[in-house]
Structures are given as C-alpha cells and as structure tokens.
Amino acid sequence: MAPRFRQYQAFHAIIETGTVTAAAEALGISQPGISNLIAELERQTKLKLFERQRGRLIPTPEAAVLFQEVDTVVRGLDHVTQAVVDLQNQKAGQLQVATSHAMAFGFMPGVIADFLKGRPNLTIAFQSQYSSKIQEWVAAGLFEIGICEVPLRHDGLDRHDISFAVQCVLPERSPLAQHDILTPEMLSDEPFIVMGADHMVTARTREAFQAAGARLRIRGHTDLFRNALNLVKEGLGVALVDPFTLLSDDGKGYVARPFDPAISLDMIIVTARGRPLSAVGREFLEDVEGRLRAIGQKSEA
C-alpha cells in the first residue's frame, strides 16, 4: 500500500516545527495520531526516518532527502487551501512572489508594502529561498513570480535578465577606506570573505585577481551576502556584497567602495511559460522590474 498524503504531511510538520507536540498543534490532531502516522510511513516505505532520543524525533539522513521532495508537495497543498479561503472570502486576489534571501531582508518587503497601498483586499504569499528552489516553485505553479540568481535551470520558465555591480565592503577603520575605488592590486593578500566556491561573484573575483597578478587570500566562505557583511563588520576581512544587502543595512561598522574591474551579480525574474499571469502579477512584475533596473543602472554607474 502506498503512503497516504496525511502521513507525508505529518512527516513534513515534524521537521518544520521540530517537535511532535508542535506538529500535532499545526495539523490539529493528537500527538499519538502524529506518532501513528509516522510509524505507518516508516513501515510502508521501509525507511527509518527518525531516531528516538530522550522523547524527541531526530531526522535521519534519509529523512532529509525525502523532505526535499515532500516539501514542494505539502507547500503546494497549502497554497491550494489558501486559494479556497480567498475565494470563500471574495478576496481581490493574491500576490505570489519568491525572492533570493538578500532581497528579503529589506528591499522586497518595502516594494510589497508600496504595492499593497490602496489594495486592502489583496493578500500576499512571500517567501525567500535559494535560487534553484525558487525556480522549482515557479515552474510548479506555487508562485507566480520568482527573483533569483542565474543560471536558469528549468526550460519551462520565461526570464527577464538584470545585472547589478557588487561593491567592496571593508571594516570602517581599515586604511584602505582612504581610497575611492579598490582594485585587486590594493587588496592583494587582504583576508577575504567570499560566497561559496561555485558562486558567480567568487569565480569572477578569482578571475580578476588572477588577471591582475594579485593574491586572493580567502579567509572564509559563507552562503549569504548578509553573513559576509556581518563578518566584515567584525573586522574579519573584506568582501564583495550585493546592493540589496547594503540597502537594507544600517551602514554602521563598515565602508563600501566601488571595485575595479566591475564584478556583476546576474539575476533573473522568472515566470512560468505558458501560464498567464494574474492581473495582480502583471502589475507587480512591471513595478518590480522597473525598480530593479533602476538599481542595476545605479550600481553600474
């Protein structure tokens, strides 16, 4: 017998909330009910999904893999449920947008707030995620609009390309702050905080240093520009950071300078090919694309 959706939903809720108690509350069923669903799922899949330790369920590596597949399905049902509620309440519509984490810290909430002015009946579905997941969500119809980094990984998506020049940030008391523009030669052997080794900004930074005959001394890696900026504030090195992270920051503890040669962060706005956008989606796409292109032009000026 194949596992039932309710079993997967219970599995998803435990990992999302962290405890059986919280999962039971989220799904509106008893704790024994949650435990029974998980036991049935493990028996039918012949997989050990949790280790029992002192009354807690600790996900196994197999559970982590399964969660990645179950997550999209469960979130999809959540969107269906919300759509039904909106229709029952005669809502005017729902804005559905997913963005990279950098935009979620300040830029995108501000854009959404401006867009919602004068639209009191409009609901929002807003999530931040890594780029591959954003594209997956848009392709699956969970979100109408996604804003993420290249590359494009789904053939069924239309794209709008926009590039942004990153800036070099360094601790405010660094002697290098006296310069108006920073180059690889100036930063040779300076401790650098970089994004992951495969990230486009890291690769382009390495190329710029190699072309200049300068040494790129990597002191640390991180997965978010926000993390890189915070490490710079702590005096651990310099970093190249996107404009959205800088726009949403208080500007304290560091200085930002243009980097020469210019290094671009290439991003795309994606929508599902062959699936018409809602009226709300079309209006928002036009608004946010205009704002992003203005920031892109300013960053490259």
Give tens-digit pLDDT for 4-18.
888 888 888 888 888
Same domain, 29 and 146: no
Is the pLDDT at 199 greater than 90? The verdict is yes
The secondary structure of the chain, three-state, reads CCCCHHHHHHHHHHHHHCCHHHHHHHHCCCHHHHHHHHHHHHHHHCCCCEEEECCEEEECHHHHHHHHHHHHHHHHHHHHHHHHHHHHCCCCEEEEEEECHHHHCCHHHHHHHHHHCCCCCEEEEEEECCHHHHHHHHHHCCCCEEEEECCCCCCCEEEEEEEEECEEEEECCCHHHHCCCECHHHHCCCEEEECCCCCHHHHHHHHHHHHHCCCCEEEEECCCHHHHHHHHHCCCCEEEECHHHHHCCCCCCEEEEEECCCCEEEEEEEEECCCCCCHHHHHHHHHHHHHHHHHHHHHHC
Q: Is residue 277 part of a domain?
A: yes
Q: Is residue 77 part of a domain?
A: no
Same domain, 187 and 227: yes
The Cα–Cα gap between 79 and 122 comes to 15
Is the pLDDT at 81 greater than 80? The verdict is no
CA–CA distance from 102 to each of 130, 190, 224, 232, 265 (Å)? 10, 25, 7, 16, 12
Q: Is residue 155 part of a domain?
A: yes
Same domain, 243 and 107: no
Given 42, 72, 102, the domain boundary residue is 72
Is the pLDDT at 90 greater than 60? The verdict is no
Same domain, 243 and 179: yes
Range of the domain at 222: 167-262
Q: Is residue 215 part of a domain?
A: yes
Average pLDDT over residues 242-257: 95
- Single-letter code of the amino acid located at 44: Q
Same domain, 178 and 242: yes
Same domain, 186 and 258: yes
Q: Is residue 84 part of a domain?
A: no
Same domain, 96 and 155: yes
Which has the higher per-residue pLDDT, 181 or 12? 181
The per-residue pLDDT for range 131-143, each reduced to its tens digit, is 999 999 999 999 9
Is the pLDDT at 91 greater than 70? The verdict is no
- Mean of per-residue pLDDT scores for the chain: 90
Name residue, tokens 């998506």.
Answer: 157
- What CATH number should be reported for the domain holding residue 49? 1.10.10.10
Same domain, 252 and 284: no
Token output for 103:
């935009």
Same domain, 276 and 291: yes
Q: Is residue 85 part of a domain?
A: no
**Structural domains of the chain, count:** 3
| pLDDT of amino acid 83 | 63
| pLDDT of amino acid 133 | 94
Token output for 46:
């012949």
Q: Is residue 79 part of a domain?
A: no
pLDDT band for position 87 (cuts 50, 70, 90): very low
CA–CA distance from 16 to each of 36, 74, 169 (Å)? 18, 11, 35
The per-residue pLDDT for range 204-218, each reduced to its tens digit, is 999 999 999 999 999
The Cα–Cα gap between 265 and 263 comes to 7
Token output for 207:
């190329």
Average pLDDT over residues 187-204: 96
The per-residue pLDDT for range 145-161, each reduced to its tens digit, is 999 999 999 889 999 99
Predicted structure pTM score:
0.70
- The conformational region for residue 53 under phi > 0 = left, psi -120 to 50 = alpha, else beta, is beta
CA atoms within 13 A on the CB side of 219: 14
The per-residue pLDDT for range 271-290, each reduced to its tens digit, is 999 999 988 899 899 999 99
| pLDDT of amino acid 89 | 44
Same domain, 181 and 53: no
The per-residue pLDDT for range 24-73, each reduced to its tens digit, is 888 889 989 988 998 898 888 888 988 888 767 888 888 888 888 888 88
- What CATH number should be reported for the domain holding residue 222? 3.40.190.10
β-sheet bridge partners, residue 270: 146, 159
CB 215 within 8 A of CB 205: no
Same domain, 151 and 277: yes
Same domain, 273 and 292: yes
Given 72, 104, 127, the domain boundary residue is 72
Q: Is residue 80 part of a domain?
A: no
